[in-house]
Structure 1
C-alpha cells in the first residue's frame, strides 16, 4: 500500500529504482569477477585486459581486452548476466566450486582434483553440457552417467569421483532453483548393473609390500648411505608415516626421552594447481598445516631403532632453517625421498614399489607380530582398524616361507 501510494503520487520513480538495482548488480558482478581474475592495463598493448571463465577452452579461461576500461567492465557484466539468465552445467560447477573454496570448505588440492575430474567427465560432446541447466532431465543425467562409465572404463571406486561432482552441482543448482531434480532421490532410484563397471584387477602382494627378505637389504643399504634423505626413507619403515607427512616434519615434532619417544604428525606436503594473473596454470607444492584426515593428527610411538635414526638425522641437520629434512638449507620434498628409494631399489636389484608401499609394509609387519589392532590403527593414522586391515595388510612372506608353513601344517597327513 505504501509503495503503491509513493508511485502514484510521484514520490518514488520506478525507473530510478530499476537503474539503482542494475547499478548495484553490475558492481556485484565486477566484485565477484575480481575475486578470481585480475583486471590490468597492458601499457605495451595500450589496452585493459582480464581473463574470464570459458570451459570451452583448454585452460578453462579466455583473455579479453578492450581499449577503454568501461568497455571491459561492460563485457564482464554481460558475461555474468548471460550466465545467470541461461546457465549451463559448467557455469554452475565453477560457481559452486569457487564458493566452496572461498569459504574454506575444500582445500586447494581438492579444488584441483574436482576441476580435473570435471574436465575429464564433462566434455563438450556430452548432451547435458550443451543444454541450459533447467532443461536437463533425469533421463539425460542417467544417460550421461552410463556413458561416462563406459567411455572411461570406470570401476566402482573411480565412479565415486563422478558421483561427488554430480551431487554437488545438482544440490547447488536446486538451491538456486535451476532444477527440479532432487539428486539424493535420483541416486536412490538409479539402477546401475554391476556388469557396467570395469572390474578392478587386484594387485598381487608382491606389488603391494616389500617382503621379509628385501627389508634387511634395504635397511643395511639405507644406513650405509648415511644421507638425510635415505635415512628419511628408512624412518618410514619403522613409523609407517605418509611421505607427505615425512616431508613436512619440523624439529619440534620430535620428542626423544627416556619415558617414551614419539613423533607428533600434524601437517603434510600437498600438491595442487592454480591460475596466476596471466592465466597460466601453475603447479604448486606447499605445506598444509593440518593432516590428511583428523585421525592423521597423531603421536607415533617410536622403537629404539627409530630413535637412533632420528638422532642421526638431527646430527646431519644440526641447524635446520625450519624443517627436519633439509639439504643445503632447502626442504626435501616428496619427490626427493621417492627418488632416493628408486635409486636404492635399482642398486639392490629389488623391484621398486612407491613410498606408500613402505607404509603398507609397516602396517603388515605390526599386524603379523600381534600388535593390538587399535594401536596399529592409531600408529597408521586411521580412524578404525577396518581400513588398516582392508587396505594395508598384505602377505609379505617369501615363497619358501609359505611352502614351509604349508608343509608344517600338513605334516600329520
Structure 2
C-alpha cells in the first residue's frame, strides 16, 4: 500500500518503486514514469528530485518570482478531486475571501514569518466582511489552509525561504457553550409529549442521541429499526454554494456522507423513544421529519422551526447544536463510559468528546467534591478503631 499522499509502493521483488507524472495528454490523461531503489527513503529522495526537475523545466528556477495567488489556485485544483464537494467549497471560500486578498500579490520569495504574523493580526482585527475581527478559532482554521498550501509548494517546487511550520495563533478560551438545564429539559419533554408530531419527535431524537442537525434532516425511516431498537447514521444533508457558472441558483442542497468515517455509526434508541416513534413509523424509505419520500426539511429550515419551538417554551440563547452538547453532558452526569459516548457521537477520539462536548454543571462538581466526605469518614473510622 502507498503511504498517504505519496505514490510509492514496495514491489514483489523487494524493491521500492516511486511513480510520478511527466506529462498529460490533451484529454488530461496522465503519463507516468518510475524510479526504483532498495529502500523507501531512497526512492522518496529520487522521486523528489525528479518532481523538482520537471517543475524547473516548466517554471525554470524562478518559481519564487511567482505571486502566492498562483500557488493557491493550483493547490485548490489539485485538491478538488480528492475531497468532498462541501470541503472544497470551504477551502475555496477560505482561499478567495481570506488568503488571496491579503497575501495573493506577494511573490513567494518575499513571504516571511513577519509577513504572515502581520496577516494574522489583520484577520484578528478586521478580517470579516463587516470589518470586524475574526475569532482565534476561525483564524487558526485559515492558517491551517495557508500551511497546507505552503506544504504543497515545498513538496512540488522545493524549499521555501522561511519556516512556516512554527507559526501559530494563540487560542483564547472560547465562550462557554450554553446547555439546557434539567428544568428546561423537563419543560421540553412535557411539551413534546403533549404535542407529538415528526418535527417535535425529531428534536427529542436529537436530544436523546446527540445526532447532528444535518444527520437528522437526511435520516429516512429505513435507517431506523424500532424492533431492534437502533438507528443508523449514514448520510448528512447540507446547503452549499454552487461554483458552477451555468447554475441558476447560488446554493444547493446536497446529501453526502457524514463528517468523517467515525460519524457513520449505529446508535441504540432509548426504550421510551421507541414507544413514542411507533405510531409514526413508515415503511417506504420516507424522510423521518416529513414522512414523505420526495419531501425533506433542510437544516436551515429546521433551525428556523427549532427557534420557534424554543420561543414557545420560553427558552432563549439556544441553537440546534446545543442539543448535542446537552446530550453529551447529560450522559457524563449519568455515568456513561466515555469511549461508549464518543462512539455514539461519532467522534474520532475521546478527547474531542471531553474537551468540546462535555460541560459539567456546578452541581455535578459539588456532588463529586462531596465524595471526599465518604473518604474522610472511612479514614476517621479506621483511625478510631
Q: Same fold (TM over 0.5)?
A: yes
> Does 1:167 pair with 2:147?
yes
CA distance in 1, matches of 2:344, 2:139: 30
Q: 2:73 aligns with which of 58, 76, 94?
A: 94
8 Å Cα contact 2:220/2:285 also seen in 1: no
Deviation at 1:370, TM superposition (A): 0.9
**2:269 is matched with which residue?**
302
- State how far apart, in whole Å, the 1-side matches of 2:121 and 2:165 are: 13
Say if 1:176 and 1:339 are closer, same or farther in 2 by CA, change over 3 A: same
Normalising by structure 1, what TM-score?
Answer: 0.65
- Corresponding residue to 2:91 among 114, 134, 149: 114
Distance in structure 1 (CA, Å) of the matches to 2:65 and 2:93:
24
How far does residue 146 in structure 1 lie from its aligned partner after superposition? Answer: 4.3
Counterpart for residue 390 of structure 1: 355
What count of residue pairs does the alignment treat as equivalent?
315
Q: Distance in 2 between matches of 1:324 and 1:193?
A: 42
- Looking at structure 2, the residues matched to 306 and 202 of structure 1 have their Cα atoms a distance apart, in angstroms, of 32
What does residue 106 of structure 2 align with? 131
CA offsets, 1:181-226, max 9 Å, x none? 177x4323x4x685xx6x34522xxx52111001111112123222
CA distance in 1, matches of 2:161, 2:208: 49
Q: Compared with structure 1, are the counterparts of its residues 351 and 405 closer, same or farther at alpha carbon in structure 2 (3 Å cutoff)?
A: farther
1:176 offset after TM fit, Å?
4.2
Cα pair 1:239 1:302 within 8 Å, conserved:
yes
Offset, 1:163: 1.9
Post-superposition shift, 1:245? 0.8
Identify if the C-alpha distance between structure 1 residues 139 and 339 changes in structure 2 by more than 3 Å, giving closer, same or farther.
closer
Partner Cα separation in structure 1 for residue 342 and residue 366 of structure 2: 30
1:362 Cα deviation after fit:
0.9
Greater RCO (Cα-Cα under 8 Å, separation 6 or more): 1
* Pairing of 1:53-92 with structure 2 (within 5 A): 87-92=66-71
Q: Secondary structure at the match of 2:308?
A: helix
Q: 1:270 aligns with which of 223, 233, 238?
A: 238
Match of 1:237 in 2: 207
The corresponding residue for 1:35 is: none
Instruction: Return the alpha-carbon distance in structure 2 between the equivalents of residues 391 and 223 of structure 1.
Output: 30
Query: Distance in 2 between the 1:372 and 1:405 partners?
Result: 16
Partner SS for 1:115? helix
Q: 1:209 touches 1:360 (CA, 8 Å); kept in 2?
A: yes
Larger Rg: 1
1:369 and 2:342 are equivalent in the alignment: no
When the two structures are superposed, what TM-score results if normalisation uses the length of structure 2?
Answer: 0.70
Instruction: Tell me the SS of whatever aligns to 1:122.
Output: helix
For the structure 1 residues 182 and 295, does the alpha-carbon distance in structure 2 shift closer, same or farther, using more than 3 Å as the test? farther
Runs of 5+ consecutive residues of structure 1 not aligned to the other structure: 1-23, 33-80
**Equivalent of 2:187, from 186, 198, 217?**
217
Structure 2 unaligned segments of length 5 or more: list them: 1-22, 29-58, 128-132, 377-385
Deviation of the 1:275 alpha carbon: 2.0
Residue 173 of structure 1 and its aligned partner are, at CA, apart by 2.5
Q: How much does 1:265 deviate?
A: 0.8
Give the CA RMSD over aligned residues: 3.7
The superposition leaves residues 228-256 of structure 1 with CA deviations (integer Å, 9 ceiling, x where unpaired) of 11211111111111111111112221122
2:160 to 181, 191, 200: 181
Residues 213, 299 of structure 2: 8 Å contact kept? yes
The CA deviation string for residues 144-185 of structure 1, in whole angstroms up to 9 with x for no partner, is: 3444344444554333212222122222223442x63177x4
In 1: Cα distance, 2:111 partner to 2:268 partner? 54
Q: Is 1:246 matched with 2:216?
A: yes
How far the C-alpha of 1:354 sits from its partner, in A, is 0.9
Match in the other structure for 1:323? 287
Relative distance call for 1:217 and 1:402 in structure 2 (3 A) is farther
